[in-house]
Copies of this chain bind each other. A is one copy, B any other.
Amino acid sequence: MDAKVMLTEKEAPTKWYNIVPDLPFPLPPATSPSTGYPLSPVELRGLFPEAIIKQELSNDDKEFPIPDEVQEIYMLWRPTPLYRALRFEEVLETPARIFYKYEGVSPAGSHELNTAVAQAYYCKKEGIRRVTTGTSAGEWGIALALACKFFGLECRVYIARSSYEQKPYGRTMMELCGARVIPSPSKETNAGRKALQQDPNSSGSLGMAISEAIEDARAGEDTKYSIGTVLNHVLLHQTVIGLEAKKQLEKAGASPDIVIGCVGGGSNFGGLAIPFLRDKFKGRKVRFVAAEPASVPSLTKGRYTYDYTDGEGLAPMLKMHTLGHGFVPPDIRAGAMRYHGMSPLVSALYQEKAIEAVAYPQLAVLESAVQFLGCEGILPASESAYAIKAVVEEALKCRAEKEKKTILFALSAHGYFDLATYDAFLAGKLEDFIYSEEEVERALSELPIISSEH
């Protein structure tokens, strides 16, 4: 067969798929950080444009049309290729068939541009002039900066200081797109100033960067906030990945037995998995595996409860698997995964046993990534590498059990913005960090009093 399956532009999806109405269980609503009661659209107005609020809170609409202007920009790189990893299969000596959906062909290098373009478009359409965001790894910042450039919006990116220093070229990309990049915690916001008072050398976190971006957005009338993962509307936009992959697999005459993605906030995994989960809820037998870092094990060791989404409690509270909003993640290299919580949708799917989760330490993960490079020629982002490690495990199980399963995984981003990580890996400078039960307990003790009762 062909090494890759392409779709024409005419075959590209024209609607995003909202799984919430199709869930066989209710999805707990987001709540207000001040009252603890379910969030009203009014409370989100300071943060998001109206169209995004409608998508975020929708329990009824199973589909949202992808606006023409968004489709036009998607066509700069979409539909993305679906590859059969023939050479990787050979090296793993597995009877399994491994397919991967490659989002690294996006000009931002990752899947994150799918939602960035949509969010920037709605902001532009509603007369917004300026967009803020918080990010850790930089990949999301690159995506939003580029999307804002496409629509002529100002972009301000708060980026966790550790990533700012580890990955200088992420900043270069954002600045080339005209964005202003601010290391977080910063002196620009109350939240940042408070954090710097407590620890002038704070390496920052995604939670803190988000707090700063939210405070900044709320302060400006022409300004909205944009988030790259976790929330329902982000997963909605990312379903374009799974919708394409489904058509491509059909073209290849295949159907997945196992769907695998890495999870940080959950958008890349969700985007691939959700269209296939619909099939599962209709009775098809499919397994779903979310792969996370052993150092940030929100699904596998976190508590399923209401928690703040940012470090400071300014943003809506979500019922999710969390390590506690006070969690300061260890300095692992997969920056986009250094977040205390998990998408409420992915969390609920895990809680209801619709999906599984696994956690891996980073060295074994990067080893799998280098092995993949040698076969398929693509250097995965260190985040995507967690999915590859899970694929290796499943493929080896297939070998042991002589099972010819079909595995589909999301290769969410390339690693070319992340070569410092691989450089450190080659030089033997990276270590494993496994987050212990006690440390999780300690972090969880800081959770807000509002629990899962609403």
Whether A92 sits at the interface, judged by CB under 8 Å, is no
- Chain B proximity of A341: nearest CB distance (Å): 30
**Interface size bucket, A side?**
35 or more
> Which residues of B are found within 8 Å of A87, using beta-carbon distances?
150
1/0 contact string of A3-20 vs chain B (CB within 8 Å): 110101100000000000
Query: Closest chain B residue to A79 by CB distance?
Result: B6
> Which residues of B are found within 8 Å of A169, using beta-carbon distances?
419-420, 423
Tell me, in angstroms, the Cα distance from A333 to B43 when the chains sit together: 50
Cβ-defined contact, B4 with A426, below 8 A: no
Whether A378 sits at the interface, judged by CB under 8 Å, is yes
Q: Which of A174-182, A228-236, A429-437 contacts B (4 or more CB under 8 A)?
A: A174-182
Whether A75 sits at the interface, judged by CB under 8 Å, is yes
> Which residues of B are found within 8 Å of A175, using beta-carbon distances?
426
Report if A377-B105 is in contact (Cβ < 8 Å); known contacts: A9-B4, A169-B423, A420-B169. no
Contact residues of A between 342 and 383, Cβ < 8 Å to B: 370, 373-374, 376-379
Contact residues of A between 421 and 454, Cβ < 8 Å to B: 422-423, 426
Whether A42 sits at the interface, judged by CB under 8 Å, is no
Cβ-defined contact, A376 with B107, below 8 A: yes
Whether A41 sits at the interface, judged by CB under 8 Å, is no
Tell me, in angstroms, the Cα distance from A3 to B3 when the chains sit together: 24
Tell me, in angstroms, the Cα distance from A377 to B87 when the chains sit together: 31
> Which residues of B are found within 8 Å of A83, using beta-carbon distances?
76
Tell me, in angstroms, the Cα distance from A376 to B108 when the chains sit together: 11
Cβ-defined contact, B150 with A377, below 8 A: yes
Cβ-defined contact, B177 with A3, below 8 A: no
Q: Which of B150, B377, B414 contacts A146 (CB 8 A)?
A: B377
Whether A37 sits at the interface, judged by CB under 8 Å, is no
Contact residues of A between 163 and 203, Cβ < 8 Å to B: 168-169, 172-173, 175-178
> Which residues of B are found within 8 Å of A73, using beta-carbon distances?
377
> Which residues of B are found within 8 Å of A109, using beta-carbon distances?
416
Query: Closest chain B residue to A373 by CB distance?
Result: B176
1/0 contact string of A291-320 vs chain B (CB within 8 Å): 000000000000000000000000000000
Cβ-defined contact, A177 with B374, below 8 A: yes
Known A4-B76, A107-B379; further 4 A-B contacts with Cβ < 8 A: A107-B376, A168-B423, A175-B426, A416-B417
A contacts, CB < 8 Å to B: 2-4, 6, 8-9, 72-73, 75-77, 83, 87, 105, 107-109, 146, 149-150, 168-169, 172-173, 175-178, 370, 373-374, 376-379, 414, 416-417, 419-420, 422-423, 426
Q: List 13 A-B contacts (CB under 8 A).
A: A3-B9, A3-B75, A4-B76, A6-B6, A6-B8, A76-B83, A107-B379, A149-B373, A169-B420, A169-B423, A172-B419, A176-B379, A176-B426
